[in-house]
Amino acid sequence: MSQLRCPKCESMEATKSGVVGGRQRFKCKNCGYHYSVAKTGKETSPYYVIKALQLYVEGVSYREIERLLGVSHVSVMNWVKKYGVKAPRQTDYHPTYKILNQKELAEFFQKPENLKEAGLIVTELGDKYMMIRWERFKQG
């Protein structure tokens, strides 16, 4: 039982204390706290959590992040809330993005007219690259 840590005091000393809902329950010898083992299930890779939060900060919507990364928009909302991430609200600009492979990205950067404007970020997205650019909303 030394492999389990108490979620309250992080002690490694625990004893079995029954079964609840089909899961083993433990009692910490140090602080007396009762806890169950973490539920087994599908866990999202930290890579996708970080990418989702980066995209959110860059102004990409929850649904767009869902389409790009293949993770639920509800999961993205929960991560934003959990980590307290705040996206700056900018009313004059909106992000547009393109997914490019390495060759397309190299060709894009070889054209001088593509490098004149500010507001461009490139981030890895699996085996491809995402280029995010900010465009000014049309007035009128």
Closest of 58, 66, 65, 64 to residue 87, by C-alpha = 58
> CA distances (Å), 140 to each of 6, 37, 96, 137, in order?
60, 58, 20, 9
Assess contact for 125 and 99: CB atoms under 8 A: yes
Residue 83 shares a structural domain with residue 58: yes
The number of folded domains in the chain is 3
Over its length of 140 residues, how does the chain's per-residue pLDDT go in tens digits? 445 788 888 888 999 989 888 888 999 999 999 988 765 566 778 889 999 998 888 888 899 899 888 899 999 999 999 999 987 776 676 778 889 999 999 999 898 888 776 568 888 888 899 888 877 655 54
Residue 84 shares a structural domain with residue 104: no
Residue 2 shares a structural domain with residue 35: yes
Q: Which amino acid is located at 22 in the chain?
A: G
Tell me what pLDDT residue 79 has.
95
Tell me what pLDDT residue 113 has.
84
Residue 11 shares a structural domain with residue 47: no
Report residue 14 as tokens.
């625990």
Residue 100 shares a structural domain with residue 76: no
Residue 104 shares a structural domain with residue 135: yes
Residue 100 shares a structural domain with residue 134: yes
Which DSSP helix (H) or strand (E) runs through 102? Answer: helix 102-110
Residue 79 shares a structural domain with residue 104: no
Tell me what pLDDT residue 2 has.
40
Residue 47 shares a structural domain with residue 79: yes
pTM: 0.56
Residue 34 shares a structural domain with residue 71: no
Assess contact for 26 and 32: CB atoms under 8 A: no
Residue 72 shares a structural domain with residue 83: yes
Q: Which domain holds residue 28?
A: 1-41
**Helix axis angle, 62-69 to 46-57, nearest 10°:** 140
- Other beta carbons within 10 angstroms of residue 117's beta carbon come to 11
Which SS3 state, helix, strand or coil, does residue 21 take?
coil
